[in-house]
Structure 1
Amino acid sequence: MSESKAISSSLKARNDLAFLSLLTPVMLFVSGVVLSIEYEGILYWIGQLLLSFFFLQTFILVHECGHLSFFKTRSINTLMGHLFGFLSFIPYYSWQQMHNLHHRWTGWRDKDPTTESTVSPSSSTTKNSIINIAWKLGIPLFYLSYKLSNYWNLFKIKRFLTPKKYQKVKTQIGMYVVLYAVLFYFFWEFIVQIFSLAFVISLLWKELVIMTQHGHIEIPISNNKQVKPITYLEQVKYTRSFYVHEILAKYFLFNFNLHEAHHAHPAIPAYKLSAIHLEKPRKPTFFYWLYRAKRMQGVDYIFKTSKHTGELF
């Protein structure tokens, strides 16, 4: 990101802090695997829960590496981004390209490739009923749709990228598929026993985090008119942060909950975001957002905004 030239040296990425941040996911992974292998009953389930938090963190970390701002060194960001992307089932390069477009077009709901599908609900009563049921029951339908449509769907990706970048996306997606196939062929039973349940649980955590960030916010629609990207600082009003205990935010979410600060300064690494003060109230808390959002129908939360429902968070 070009913004990196403008930020204070005290807020720039540092390799030592970045690697230090990885202690938490390493501990979650090791303890989760040991408990899942060695024990049954409650300890097995604790292991699965720890692994589910690990998978949530891999998603957050591929986001950070995609900005090339988590580590100071570009090559390390790329290398670790592929590792975290692989663990998250998100091809790193397609994530990076589509997510950069998200930051470019935040503030125009139909121009942002990650929100264009939320402009209007389906005309199908059946589909809308499925969305509402999934939302109420905590089935991560939105996150799965978000991930598959934005980072695996080559037909969609082709609309947004140059031929050269699109070819690179195709190549890397193909490499990911081959690697997944090899691992599942040789280690199928181990993967299913130790990781599959934890990964499924992590989908719920990922959906809840993703849905806080831009959902049910009044965001302009360009209606195919010629518009310019909105500046980073102006994007803040089209994003939402949520707040939890500082220890949880720092060590488990890597400040990923501070989404307003992230959009205002996307080149600042996650472990420095808490130093950014936007003179906004520290709300909502996560559980306040969860209570209010889950009271709504899924189609209302996803496809409507506060302008339609009057629901503010």
Structure 2
Amino acid sequence: MDHRALIASLSAQTKAALQQRSNAAGLKHLALHFALIAVCTFAIAAKAPLWPLLVLPQGVLLVFLFTLSHECTHKTPFRSGWLNEVVGHLVSIPIALPFTWFRYYHLAHHKWTNDPEKDPELGGKPRPDNWPSLLIYLSGWPYWSGMAKTLVLNALGRIDAPFLPSRQHRAMRIEARLLLTLYAAAGLSLFFSPLLFWIWILPVLVGQPALRLYLLAEHGLCPPVANMLENSRTTFTNRIIRFLAWNMPYHAEHHAFPNVPFHHLPALHREARTHLKTTSDGYSTFTAEYLRTLDL
């Protein structure tokens, strides 16, 4: 059974229930995520005992806002459309991810998932297949340099990827210019106070490898086929990681039925579990398997 057959097998009532969005569920999850960031931020800013040890958890909390931004591109975390837009834009700021641009980039990824030539996540290039390329990938350099290039090109109006609709070019140009202005102001602030370095810049740099490893499991070692239950991986993991990633470890389920909001993915998983083709028993298990495939 492929993902189309799976979704077709669900009753109309089940599909309606799975697609039900909720402001309450989204805001509750968001409030807890933001509260944890606020606690780390305050402790670092106040230089609480052992505060340097909080830089890593702060970074992980910040970089995993990517998964919420991703969810907002589907307009599913909240029932209210404006909430999805506002939150999507706001949580993209700490990770230098232009939200309007990312929406269409990500929709193209869903359309061409794991296609070596058409999936923009691959960009015609394979995932890391040797130790040097993996270490570069984990460093976050390809992400940060790629986003910097995207922001500059968008700001200049040089927007030419086929998956970016021309009607949105102006919005992307304005978005990029606003973000670059904001980052320039943040850079200037470092001449007066190192605070942003400790609560934002350093944390997102040291937290990025954790996000890269997580993202590698979503489609790494998955075959380039059309079946979303096979070209995407569901990773069985603990509540902490599912919380951080807004339930996106249920990734095959998400690709099979993107209209399902994060808080209903466990229910969709119960419907899909016996039909999943690609799974891993935890991220350490996947990582060990991936490492065995690398060349020197």
Give the TM-score taking structure 1 as reference length.
0.77
2:176 matches 1:173: yes
Aligned to 1:303: none
What RMSD over aligned residues (CA atoms) do the two structures have, in Å?
2.9
Query: Aligned pairs, how many?
Result: 274
Preserved contact between residue 131 and residue 298 of structure 1 (Cα < 8 Å):
no
Aligned to 2:236: 243
Preserved contact between residue 15 and residue 73 of structure 1 (Cα < 8 Å):
yes
Q: Percent identity?
A: 19
CA distance in 2, matches of 1:140, 1:111: 23
Aligned to 1:268: 260
2:294 matches 1:287: no
Preserved contact between residue 151 and residue 176 of structure 2 (Cα < 8 Å):
no
2:35 matches 1:27: yes
Q: How does 1:138-157 map to 2 (within 5 A)?
A: 138-144=138-144, 147=147, 154=154, 157=160
Aligned to 2:61: 54
Preserved contact between residue 45 and residue 195 of structure 2 (Cα < 8 Å):
no
| Structure 1: runs of 5 or more not aligned | 123-127, 221-229, 300-313
Preserved contact between residue 18 and residue 268 of structure 2 (Cα < 8 Å):
no
Q: How does 1:192-211 map to 2 (within 5 A)?
A: 192-211=197-216
Task: Give the deviation of 1:244 after TM superposition.
Answer: 1.2
Task: Give the deviation of 1:141 after TM superposition.
Answer: 4.0
| Structure 2: runs of 5 or more not aligned | 1-6
Q: 1:120 to 1:273 in 2, by over 3 A?
A: closer
2:157 matches 1:164: no
Preserved contact between residue 64 and residue 70 of structure 1 (Cα < 8 Å):
yes
Moved more, 32-41 or 21-30: 32-41
Task: Give the deviation of 1:143 after TM superposition.
Answer: 4.2
Amino acid at match of 2:220: G
Aligned to 2:17: 9
Q: 1:256 to 1:146 in 2, by over 3 A?
A: farther
CA distance in 1, matches of 2:291, 2:72: 31
Task: Give the deviation of 1:40 after TM superposition.
Answer: 5.8
Q: How does 1:116-155 map to 2 (within 5 A)?
A: 116-119=123-126, 130-134=132-136, 138-144=138-144, 147=147, 154=154
Moved more, 195-204 or 59-68: 195-204
Amino acid at match of 1:292: E
| SS of structure 2 residue aligned to 1:159 | coil
Segments ≥4 residues shifted beyond 6 Å: 149-152
Preserved contact between residue 68 and residue 91 of structure 2 (Cα < 8 Å):
yes
Aligned to 1:306: none
Q: 1:68 to 1:132 in 2, by over 3 A?
A: closer
Task: Give the deviation of 1:90 after TM superposition.
Answer: 0.2
Correspondence for 1:97 among 95, 104, 115: 104
Q: 1:288 to 1:73 in 2, by over 3 A?
A: same
CA distance in 2, matches of 1:84, 1:173: 15
CA distance in 1, matches of 2:288, 2:132: 20
